[in-house]
């Protein structure tokens, strides 16, 4: 029998690990908007979560009631492919240290952010949570996916062995303000926003995009993801991870058209098929999330337009953020 969750106490200390990243910064905004008065964000420059001693020292002195783990080394398909050691090693260390320190600090509620890339490359579409560990992973991100799968298993293990009410969520591809807009290391949406924005500014006639344009992806705005995370902390308490997505995908070619329109680019688009396509399709089954009563608020075209406006105002100061999502 599931035990009803107590309402999250707005005055409790909520720790957001990775608060300068795309997701962590959105979670901080959402906590403030929902009236949480003791939300504390940490970045890697505040506490190095790959360092066990520093992590234990920080957590056992702060003693938060809730931890939201949005700290990770993240990157797009090229960065994952080029640096598997860092993607595996840093993420395993961050999770192991943070979870052990949260347990030592007696943290009752913890939310771990995984990724939809933990599912097998050829999963049924839309991908149900039950697809986890049923087949081989996409080769370009095996290291990152294995680290995130280890995080899911760690959360389940703390629940089973110590009765911790910790949960894992698996977001689909995320975008929004504060993203990493690095030209080669970032995910597709920020990479396109930057490339098309710069092409319009410089008057370039051509923009080169990667792959064939055929892969299908689903995108969620970081503010919707943040709202879903707080909603699930208040309404979900189960060992199985929960997918967080919007229930719709599109081809990369269609995404390119949306970004070109939002930036006002009317020139030529050329596909560089020497770059990897990655997983052919990644659409999450979100029925478990929707059954908790959560609803998406920001549509993709609207979200892309606001991200383009944010980037135009913030550039050129926005650049690579290797850690913190």
- Contact residues for ligand GFB (CB under 6 A)? 76-77, 80, 115, 117, 140-141, 144, 173, 186-188, 191, 209-211, 215, 217, 252, 275-279, 282
Residue 211 C-beta: closest distance to ligand GFB, Å? 3
**186 or 307: whose CB is closer to ligand GFB?**
186
Q: Are 295 and 231 spatial neighbours (Cβ–Cβ below 8 Å)? A: no
Residues near 209 by Cβ (< 8 Å), separated by ≥ 6?
192, 195, 252, 256, 269, 270, 271, 272
Residue 4 C-beta: closest distance to ligand GFB, Å? 33
* Spatial CA neighbour of 74 closest among 154, 169, 173: 173
Which three-class secondary structure string do you get for 289-311? HHHCCCCCCCCHHHHHHHHHHHH
Residue 217, φ and ψ in degrees, nearest 5? -135, 160
**210 or 265: whose CB is closer to ligand GFB?**
210
**115 or 243: whose CB is closer to ligand GFB?**
115
DSSP state of 161: H
Sequential DSSP letters for 117-147: GGS-TT--SSBPGGGTTSSPPPGGGHHHHHH
The total of other beta-carbon atoms located within 10 Å of residue 312's CB is 13
d(CA 321, CA 48): 15
Residue 229 C-beta: closest distance to ligand GFB, Å? 16
**126 or 215: whose CB is closer to ligand GFB?**
215
**121 or 164: whose CB is closer to ligand GFB?**
121
**27 or 191: whose CB is closer to ligand GFB?**
191
* Spatial CA neighbour of 98 closest among 48, 28, 37: 48
d(CA 278, CA 113): 21
**Which one from 58, 119, 144, 236 is the annotated catalytic residue?**
144
* Spatial CA neighbour of 100 closest among 58, 42, 148, 145: 58
DSSP state of 116: G
Residue 183 C-beta: closest distance to ligand GFB, Å? 8
Residue 117 C-beta: closest distance to ligand GFB, Å? 3
* The two structure tokens encoding residue 234: 């208040």
Residue 186 C-beta: closest distance to ligand GFB, Å? 6
Active site residue 144: yes
Active site residues: 144
């Amino acid at each position: 029998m599931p035990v009803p969750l107590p309402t999250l106490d707005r005055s409790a200390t909520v720790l957001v690990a990775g608060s300068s990243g795309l997701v962590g910064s959105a979670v901080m905004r959402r906590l403030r908007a929902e009236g949480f008065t003791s939300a504390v964000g940490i970045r890697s420059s505040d506490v190095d979560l790959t360092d066990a001693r520093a992590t234990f020292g920080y957590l056992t002195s702060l003693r938060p009631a809730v931890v939201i783990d949005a700290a990770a080394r993240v990157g797009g398909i090229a960065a994952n492919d080029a640096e598997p050691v860092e993607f595996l090693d840093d993420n395993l260390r961050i999770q192991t240290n943070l979870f052990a320190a949260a347990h030592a600090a007696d943290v009752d509620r913890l939310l771990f952010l995984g990724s939809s890339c933990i599912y097998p490359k050829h999963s049924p579409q839309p991908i149900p949570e039950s697809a986890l560990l049923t087949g081989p992973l996409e080769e370009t991100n095996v290291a990152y996916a294995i680290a995130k799968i280890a995080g899911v298993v760690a959360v389940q293990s703390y629940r089973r062995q110590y009765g911790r009410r910790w949960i894992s969520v698996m977001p689909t591809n995320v975008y929004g303000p504060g993203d990493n807009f690095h030209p080669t290391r970032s995910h597709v949406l920020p990479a396109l926003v930057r490339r098309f924005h710069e092409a319009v500014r410089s008057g370039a006639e051509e923009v080169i995009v990667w792959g064939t344009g055929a892969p299908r992806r689903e995108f969620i705005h970081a503010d919707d993801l943040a709202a879903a995370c707080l909603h699930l902390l208040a309404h979900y308490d189960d060992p199985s991870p929960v997918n967080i997505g919007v229930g719709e995908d599109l081809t990369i070619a269609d995404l390119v058209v949306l970004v070109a329109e939002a930036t006002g680019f009317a020139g030529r688009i050329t596909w560089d098929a020497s770059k990897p396509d990655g997983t052919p399709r990644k659409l999450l089954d979100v029925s478990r999330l929707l059954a908790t009563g959560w609803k998406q608020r920001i549509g993709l075209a609207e979200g892309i337009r606001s991200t383009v406006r944010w980037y135009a105002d913030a550039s050129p100061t926005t650049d690579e953020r290797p850690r913190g999502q």
